[in-house]
Structure 1
Amino acid sequence: MFFTYLRRELRRRRKAALVVASGLALGIALVIVVNSVSSGMGKAQDKVLQSLYGLGTDMTVTKAAAAPSANSSERPRFNFDAQDSDSDEEQSSDRVLVQGFQTLATSTVTKVGDQKGVADAVGGLSLQVIKVSGQFTRGQFQQNDDGGGRQGGPGGGGTGQPQGEVQGGGANFDVNNYSVFGTDVTEPALGPLTSSEITSGRTFKTSETDAKVVVVDSAYAKEKKYKVGSTITIKGTKYKTIGIATASSGDAAANLYIPLKQAQTLGDAKNKVTTIYVKATDSQQIDTVKSTIQKNISGTTVTTSADLADTVSGSLSTASSLATNVGKWLSIAVLVAAFLVAGLLTSSAVSRRVREFGTLKALGWRSGRVTRQVVGEAMVNGLLGGALGIALGLAGAYVVTAISPTLQAQLGGGGGGAGGPGGGFGGPGRQAAARTLDVALTAPVSATTVAIAVALAVAGGLIAGAFGGWRASRLRPADALRRVE
């Protein structure tokens, strides 16, 4: 009887039911789209940050670079051997510099790893290599064509030397500036190399702690025409290319990756690192771990992903702010309006059905049964609105994902970035932190979002039913029968 009466009443009042369901659908669809876009913003930001610090890294520990002294010279010097001027042999000279930060002792890595809340810690050394290569060309002496050959000689003035000038000659040198990162091959799960995927060859083996092998970033490999098996010479040491790595997003952490010990040898930084990558035991306790490290290891700077996220600007940050703030409050306003409209329309419908409910009560229906009937109708309207809202919300999220609008993310670089001078979080002194990255926006819909939509649909039905049920429960048969519609 309940469902028969329910079906008949909904069919008889299709327009009113459609208005209630449409209002709820609009609010629920907006909630789904806003939540999905916000989730997409979070994924986009994570993608940007991951390109800097790699997977699994929760924070980095560095030491700010010291201010240059008045007597120190920042200009690297290059020395070339004096060779036979007739030789066309190319000369080259490498200068390897520690990049970005002051170095920390490798013992600091162990000390950081022993702090409470730290699951793992690994060190890395960032280097900048300036390579100058080229050759000198001897000039050619051109004798003056004056018909006399030599001037001076016995009885005449002059020096007795050929007269002429040197033409041509000079030097042709090329400067190649690239970055090298020394990675701890025994800890492959941490460090900036984890933000790249090996697309050719292989990565380091844990046994290659001091091997002369190198993994090359794909963009740099394409520029220099390197491939797996190529030999790369750094400061006179030859390294064999074992893999090509492609950055997941943005720029790679370095052009070349070599074992940490080899980097320490090249940079004359034995037992030194520039960056310590830290993984926390609990992602919810990162701030606590940060405070512990800063307290127990003086002179260091601890930077978390949240610190770097605060420096993200550009359209990604603007869109994220809009989705989080404006979108959230707009969704709440629309939902409140939809719930109120649904409740008022249901209450109004009950007012127009006074004779009907009075008759039912006269026939023996109790107030509770009348109330359940009204609430049942409102619940069906709410569920219909929820189904329609979920469909509209999924369609809106699909459209956003299909269009994939491109957002720009600029990480605050310069001297005072979150990761210290010259680099971002975990970015071993990288200048990439000051570059603009393009990220495609998606709007993934999670099961949680759909569950929220269903809950809102049920809540809308209950609120509308509560309005109407309260009104219906107050009707008395005698009063109802006296009223005329």
Structure 2
Amino acid sequence: MFFTYLRRELRRRRKAALVVASGLALGIALVIVVNSVSNGMGRAQDKVLQSLYGLGTDMTVSKAATPTSGDSRPRFKFDAKENGDEGAQSSDRVMAQGFTTLSASTVTKVADQKGVSSAVGGLSLNVVKVSGQFTRGQFQQGEGGQMRGGPGSQPQGRVQGGGADFDVNQYTVYGTDVTKPELGPLTSSEITSGRTFKTTETDAKVVVADSAYAKEKKLKVGGSVTVKGVKYEVIGIATASSGDAAANLYIPLKQAQTLSGDKDKVTTIYVKAADSQQIEAVKSAIQKNVPGTTVTTSADLAKTVSGSLSTASDLATTVGKWLSIAVLVAAFLVAGLLTSSAVSRRVREFGTLKALGWKSGRVTRQVVGEAVVNGLVGGALGIALGLAGAYAVTAISPTLQAQLGGSGGGLGGEGVFRGGGGLGGPGRQAAKSLEVALTAPVSLTTIVLAVGLAVAGGLIAGAFGGWRASRLRPADALRRVE
């Protein structure tokens, strides 16, 4: 009887039911689109940040900022050639990024902190190679070879030609702990040719080159590259998953320490927390128990992402969500008022049913049942519209720009992109701009939320109408004309 009457009433009031369902559908569709776009913003930001730190890395530890003293600029010294002959000169300077390092024992201290799953150290180096040659000038004697100034004076003339022609080549090298390949900036790149390091190659003269740098310098697997007079075999080519690579060349940590003279030193410690929900607690523990360090989480670095990606993310998380709430509240109120109004027009009908023996509870359940069905229909329409909207955003894939770093303050001794401080990682010398395509992935959670909103909308609308219907008395209802 309940479902028969329900089906008949919904058919008889199709237009009213469609209006209620449509209002709920618009609100639910907007919620789905806003949630999907917000998820897309999160993925876009993760993609941007992925180019700055290794996959699986929750935070980095670097040396705390300290006032610099003296002159830390690189100096180049060229030996004089015998008898002043001209010739080629070359000099390499290998320096730790930011000129700040931590003791390798700090890695163990960090790894021993509560909540830390694993920690690995790395040494980020900046290599400046100056090469070229001096050319002797030719002395041109003045006309007639006349001498001035009396006996012993030199012939008058001038030096022509000669000089110096030098080229400066600057690149970055990252010393990675090959025994822990699951952490560190190399994990944000994919080996596209050759292989990565073996765990036994802790002090081997092997190198993995970034694909962009390898293309520029024409490096291939099986070839070699020389750093400060040391020849390394190219065993692999790595391509960054997004953005720029963390370094131009990757070598075993011990080799990097030998090149720079920083024995048992690291510039950055990459940390993975045992529980992703306890990252802030782990950060606090490291800062408290490992003095002289700066701890930077991916959330800290995310705050430095600016540009259209940041603006769109703010709109999606603030304006979009508040707009969704406002539309949902309006849709629920309209559905409730329309259902209540429909009950007012059915006073005589409900009065007759009560006179025939229907109790107030049964009438209320009938009204609520109709409202819930309207809500479910609205939910189905809303999910369809929401999925269509999310698909449209993904198909269009609007391009957003992300400016990384900006001020760089507060995330390390030399800023996010200097000195390996913060999650910026090695080799970052200036803020970078990246472009990412926006998508709107729809999660199962979003669909469940939409269904829940549909049921809630129906119940709210039914509550309005049911309350009106339960207060009707058969005698009063029969005296009114519909």
Alpha carbons of structure 1 residues 420 and 392: separation in structure 2 relative to 1, 3 Å: farther
Deviations 1:315-350 (A, max 9, x none): 222211111111111111111111111011001001
Match of 1:282 among 251, 270, 275: 275
Unaligned runs of 5+ in 1: none
Supply the distance in 1 between the matched residues of 2:173 and 2:349 (Cα, whole angstroms): 84
Contact 1:423 1:429 in 2 (8 A): no
Partner of 1:74: 73
Alpha carbons of structure 1 residues 112 and 443: separation in structure 2 relative to 1, 3 Å: same
1:449 aligns to 2:446 (yes or no): yes
Partner of 1:393: 386
Q: Structure 1 stretch 406-415 or stretch 96-105: which is displaced more?
A: 406-415
Partner of 2:102: 104
1:434 aligns to 2:431 (yes or no): yes
Alpha carbons of structure 1 residues 327 and 79: separation in structure 2 relative to 1, 3 Å: same
Contact 2:53 2:425 in 1 (8 A): no
Deviations 1:340-376 (A, max 9, x none): 1101100100111111222222333332222222111
Partner of 1:314: 307
Match of 1:347 among 340, 349, 364: 340
Contact 1:101 1:429 in 2 (8 A): no
Match of 1:266 among 259, 263, 283: 259
Match of 2:125 among 116, 120, 127: 127
Q: Structure 1 stretch 227-236 or stretch 402-411: which is displaced more?
A: 402-411
Partner of 2:458: 461
Map 1:290-369 onto structure 2 (within 5 A): 290-369=283-362
Contact 1:251 1:432 in 2 (8 A): no
Supply the distance in 2 between the matched residues of 1:172 and 1:304 (Cα, whole angstroms): 45
Counterpart of 2:330, as a letter, is A
Deviations 1:283-338 (A, max 9, x none): 11111111111111111111111211222222222211111111111111111111
Supply the distance in 2 between the matched residues of 1:441 and 1:455 (Cα, whole angstroms): 27
Contact 2:126 2:173 in 1 (8 A): yes
Deviations 1:150-185 (A, max 9, x none): 789xxxx99999997654333322100111110000
Partner of 2:14: 14
Supply the distance in 1 between the matched residues of 2:319 and 2:8 (Cα, whole angstroms): 42
Matched residue of 1:52: which SS?
coil
Partner of 2:31: 31
Contact 1:311 1:412 in 2 (8 A): yes
Counterpart of 2:73, as a letter, is E
Matched residue of 2:40: which SS?
helix
Query: Aligned residues: percent identity?
Result: 80
The normalised TM-score by structure 2 is: 0.92
Supply the distance in 2 between the matched residues of 1:30 and 1:433 (Cα, whole angstroms): 39
Matched residue of 1:431: which SS?
coil
Residue 477 of structure 1, CA deviation:
2.1
Alpha carbons of structure 1 residues 414 and 430: separation in structure 2 relative to 1, 3 Å: farther
1:228 aligns to 2:228 (yes or no): no
1:93 aligns to 2:91 (yes or no): yes
Q: Structure 1 stretch 352-361 or stretch 207-216: which is displaced more?
A: 352-361
Unaligned runs of 5+ in 2: none
Partner of 2:113: 115
Counterpart of 2:76, as a letter, is R
Residue 244 of structure 1, CA deviation:
1.2
Contact 2:97 2:124 in 1 (8 A): yes
Residue 478 of structure 1, CA deviation:
2.1
Alpha carbons of structure 1 residues 69 and 419: separation in structure 2 relative to 1, 3 Å: closer
Counterpart of 1:245, as a letter, is A
Contact 1:101 1:420 in 2 (8 A): no
Contact 1:96 1:128 in 2 (8 A): yes
Match of 2:179 among 165, 186, 194: 186
Deviations 1:26-74 (A, max 9, x none): 110111111111111111122222211111111111113543324x352
Q: Structure 1 stretch 345-354 or stretch 164-173: which is displaced more?
A: 164-173
Partner of 2:366: 373
Supply the distance in 2 between the matched residues of 1:57 and 1:208 (Cα, whole angstroms): 23
Counterpart of 2:259, as a letter, is L
Alpha carbons of structure 1 residues 46 and 254: separation in structure 2 relative to 1, 3 Å: same
Contact 1:61 1:275 in 2 (8 A): yes
Matched residue of 1:313: which SS?
coil
Residue 232 of structure 1, CA deviation:
0.7
Alpha carbons of structure 1 residues 380 and 432: separation in structure 2 relative to 1, 3 Å: farther
Deviations 1:214-242 (A, max 9, x none): 11111211222222122110000001111
Supply the distance in 2 between the matched residues of 1:350 and 1:263 (Cα, whole angstroms): 80
Alpha carbons of structure 1 residues 128 and 422: separation in structure 2 relative to 1, 3 Å: farther
Contact 1:28 1:453 in 2 (8 A): yes
Counterpart of 2:24, as a letter, is L
Partner of 1:174: 167
Alpha carbons of structure 1 residues 426 and 23: separation in structure 2 relative to 1, 3 Å: same
Supply the distance in 2 between the matched residues of 1:464 and 1:415 (Cα, whole angstroms): 52
Contact 1:422 1:430 in 2 (8 A): no
1:479 aligns to 2:476 (yes or no): yes
Supply the distance in 2 between the matched residues of 1:14 and 1:263 (Cα, whole angstroms): 76
Counterpart of 2:117, as a letter, is A
Supply the distance in 2 between the matched residues of 1:417 and 1:83 (Cα, whole angstroms): 52
Alpha carbons of structure 1 residues 73 and 337: separation in structure 2 relative to 1, 3 Å: closer
Map 1:39-58 onto structure 2 (within 5 A): 39-58=39-58
Residue 86 of structure 1, CA deviation:
7.3
Matched residue of 1:172: which SS?
strand
The normalised TM-score by structure 1 is: 0.92
Supply the distance in 2 between the matched residues of 1:84 and 1:413 (Cα, whole angstroms): 52
Alpha carbons of structure 1 residues 478 and 66: separation in structure 2 relative to 1, 3 Å: closer
Alpha carbons of structure 1 residues 445 and 64: separation in structure 2 relative to 1, 3 Å: same
Alpha carbons of structure 1 residues 468 and 428: separation in structure 2 relative to 1, 3 Å: closer
Supply the distance in 2 between the matched residues of 1:433 and 1:92 (Cα, whole angstroms): 27
Count, aligned residues: 476
Counterpart of 1:40, as a letter, is G
Contact 1:346 1:465 in 2 (8 A): yes
Supply the distance in 2 between the matched residues of 1:227 and 1:483 (Cα, whole angstroms): 92
Contact 2:25 2:378 in 1 (8 A): yes
Contact 1:423 1:430 in 2 (8 A): no
Alpha carbons of structure 1 residues 22 and 210: separation in structure 2 relative to 1, 3 Å: same
